[in-house]
Amino acid sequence: TWSTRPQRILRAVQQSATRGDPRSVVRAIDQFCRHKEWAMNVGDEKGCILDSVVSELNPSTVLELGTYCGYSTVRIASLLPPHAKLITLEFNPDFAAVARQVIAWAGLQGKVQLVEGASGDWIPKMKEQFGVKTFDLVFLDHWKDRYLPDTKLMEECGLLRKGSILLADNVICPGTPDYLEYVRNSPRYKSQYFKSHLEYTKAEDGLEKSVFLG
């Protein structure tokens, strides 16, 4: 077929979700991915864990690595306090184009800055380009072999402060063994595993929540 999966996800949102209603956008994507075509959104089960971490933290500055279609972007942004900001990095222009429209359909474009480019290029420029001092929360959901190098890069760039939270998707499936070993054994982090399931399946997966201790 001529369209891509992200384009079909966007069409499902435009056909089934209400403009300006983030929950209906999330529901439309979950329905499509559960009943029509699987896609690598964090999904509804792990999404509830993500929601509880965001709600409890009430962050002012959030960084998301790997926007894809904007599913977790919408979940996070819909829970942020009024002046909070979410910066999300996506280096695939086609995925970024879909995500912008999904975020706009949810009415959240005022809270989200979608930056088209690679995390390795943009993390060192966060302070000068976006006036970010440190991030209260980072959601890692991009290439799994980039979680560890990008975490070290964020440390080096002084983007983490005492109490910053790293929340990582897929630490079991597909898995991020080097990242997990680092945050679970480094004295600079306190880590906690939230057992769940791979989106829309019965396979095990989970989120790792790591507090940077400074």
Catalytic residues: 141, 144, 169-170, 199
User: Per rule CB under 6 A, is residue 147 in the interface with ligand 719?
Assistant: no
Q: 68 and 78 in contact (C-beta within 8 Å)?
A: no
Q: Tell me if 65 sits within 8 A of 150, measured CB to CB.
A: yes
The answer to the question of residue 64 lying near ligand 719 (CB under 6 A) is no
Amino acid at position 160, single letter: L
How would you classify the pairing of strands 204-212 and 160-168? Answer: antiparallel
Instruction: Indicate which of ligand 719, Mg ion, none lies near residue 89 (CB less than 5 to 8 Å, by partner kind).
Output: ligand 719
Nearer to ligand 719, 104 or 173 (CB): 173
- The C-alpha atoms of residue 134 and residue 137 are separated, in whole angstroms, by 9
Please report, as residue ranges, which positions from 169 to 188 form the binding site for Mg ion (by CB under 5 A): 169-170
Q: By C-beta, is 72 or 78 nearer to Mg ion?
A: 72
Distance (Å) of CA 213 to CA 61, 69, 111, 159, 183: 18, 32, 28, 13, 11
- Tell me the closest approach of the beta carbon of residue 143 to ligand 719, in angstroms: 4
| List of residues contacting ligand 719 (CB under 6 A) | 40, 66, 68, 89-92, 95, 118-120, 141-143, 146, 169-170, 173-174, 198-199
